[in-house]
Amino acid sequence: MEHIELFFKAIFIDNMVFATFLGMCSYLAVSKKVSTAVGLGAAVIFVMAITVPLNWLLDQYILQEGALSWLGEEYATYDLSFLSFIMFIATIATMVQLVEIIVEKFAPDLYNSLGIFLPLIAVNCAILGGSLFMQSREIETIGLAFNYGVSSGIGFFLAILAIAAIREKIRYSNVPAPLRGLGITFIITGLMAIGFMSFGGMLTGGDEKPAELETAQVEVVKEATKIANNEKELKEE
């Protein structure tokens, strides 16, 4: 149950692109054609599935306060969490390089289709963001961390696939000249993000208490939704 909840939450409610704006750069740059978008999306799922559990292990056994206690009593008070940025990004960069070498050796077909996207991924904010959110949300088991990695990757995949399809279609439309290209993509993404907000209530229904949302940004969003709802109610009255 926990797994299913996390899965849907990461794909729809906390969608990497639409809710937290992570991975925007590659989302905008590589979404001109559906085929390349699929390649990048698949590569992101792949890399996130590896790096999030790996960084979870690092966080749990090296970085967190008291995590070093397995080394012996005298290390129990160490808190290395200020090193997490550098450890996470080093892990990601190394893993991307390793994955690239392994895939090239054992699955040349896959390498040809993912090929150029793998190095790009090292600097994709969605990947680092996945690890940082994993840390700040205090995900409990490695299974859940793996689940979170895969489902966030799927969320990114869906987003980039959708925008690529729309951009392929919009090429035949008469967009106002200054908005062509980047401008209209921004506005469409904004509209899609509004659409994705409607998933927000999906997991808060029922008897369970709504999961606590940590990031301040989400709180702002919540507040604003409340205001909007109040206004709506007022109008209806």
Partner 1 sequence: MGLLSKKDLKLITDPLADNNPITIQVLGICSALAITAELKASIVMSIAVLFVMGLGNLTISLMRNIIPPKIRIIVQLIVVATLVIIVDLVLKAFAYELSKTLSVFVGLIITNCIIMGRFEAFALANGPIRSFIDGIGNALGYALILVIVGFFRELLGSGTLLGFKVLGDPIEKTGVYAFGYENNGFMLLAPMALITVGIIIWVQRSRNEALIEDN
Q: Does 80 bind partner 1 (CB under 8 A)?
A: no
Shortest approach of partner 1 to residue 181 CB, angstroms?
4
When the beta carbons of 35 and 198 are compared against partner 1, the nearer one is 198
When the beta carbons of 76 and 228 are compared against partner 1, the nearer one is 228
Q: Which of 4, 18, 22 is nearest to 199 (CA)?
A: 18
One of 83, 98, 102, 107 touching partner 1 (CB under 8 A): 83
Q: Which of 50, 32, 44, 53 is nearest to 154 (CA)?
A: 44
One of 123, 165, 203, 213 touching partner 1 (CB under 8 A): 123
When the beta carbons of 71 and 211 are compared against partner 1, the nearer one is 211
Q: Does 204 bind partner 1 (CB under 8 A)?
A: no
Q: Under DSSP, is residue 77 helix (H, G, I), strand (E, B) or coil?
A: coil
CA 1 to chain centre: 21
Binding mask 211-230 for partner 1 (x = CB under 8 A): ---xxxx--xx-xxx-xx--
One of 71, 101, 102, 191 touching partner 1 (CB under 8 A): 191
One of 48, 54, 67, 127 touching partner 1 (CB under 8 A): 127
Q: Under DSSP, is residue 230 helix (H, G, I), strand (E, B) or coil?
A: helix
Q: Which of 163, 150, 164, 123 is nearest to 36 (CA)?
A: 164
CB-CB contact of 69 with 147 (8 Å): no
Shortest approach of partner 1 to residue 142 CB, angstroms?
21
- For 61, 78, 103, 138, 164, the CA distances from 74, given in Å and listed in that order, are 15, 9, 42, 25, 54
CA 31 to chain centre: 17
Encoding tokens for residue 129?
């963001």
Q: Which residues bind partner 1 (CB under 8 A)?
A: 18-25, 28-29, 82-86, 89-90, 93-94, 97, 119, 122-125, 127-129, 132-133, 136, 170-171, 173, 175-184, 186-187, 189-191, 193-194, 197, 214-217, 220-221, 223-225, 227-228, 231
